[in-house]
Amino acid sequence: MAPPEKTVLIIEDEADAAELFAEMMRVSGFRVLKTSSSIPAIAMMNAEKPDIILLDIMMPDVSGLDILRQMRRDPTLANIPVIVVTAKSMPADIKNGMEAGASTYLTKPVGFLELKEAVEHALGGPSPAI
């Protein structure tokens, strides 16, 4: 019997990037949830309790860093690994992301193997794909 599918929540406002990340995760055996807005993200996290989150920083409504800080203060969400995937690549940006609680900080563009390895590392083992 196969282990239950792990769920990834993608919080990304650029539709093309969101779909690219979603396809990368589907190929790796994940159930994918997506939102292009920070506002419903916390509600989705509470409802779905994803195994891992891919989070953009530059969002149109609430900054991804604010979402991350809010997650880390919530005991029911605090332990979900978060991989920041963003175009913000300055050392100060990376420092801010890691201090806010990111498990890993990746800068766009992100390749399939780089993302897959980051997800595997954040989850503590190989991805669910065979």
Q: Which of 25, 29, 41 is nearest to 110 (CA)?
A: 25
What is the C-alpha R_g of the chain? 13
H/E stretch holding 32 reads strand 31-35
C-alpha pair distances (Å), 13 with each of 27, 41, 47, 94: 21, 12, 20, 20
DSSP annotation of 101: T
DSSP annotation of 110: -
Q: Which long-range contacts (CB under 8 A, 24 or more apart) does 4-7 make?
A: 5/29, 5/30, 5/31, 5/128, 6/30, 6/31, 6/51, 6/52, 6/123, 6/128, 7/31, 7/32, 7/33, 7/48, 7/49, 7/50, 7/51, 7/52
pTM of the model: 0.92
At 126 the pLDDT is: 58
Q: Where are the domains of the chain?
A: 7-123
Assign domain 7-123 to a CATH class.
alpha beta
Question: Over its length of 130 residues, how does the chain's per-residue pLDDT go in tens digits?
Answer: 556 789 999 999 999 999 999 999 999 999 999 999 998 999 999 999 999 999 999 998 899 999 999 999 999 999 999 999 999 999 999 999 999 999 999 999 999 999 999 999 999 875 444 3
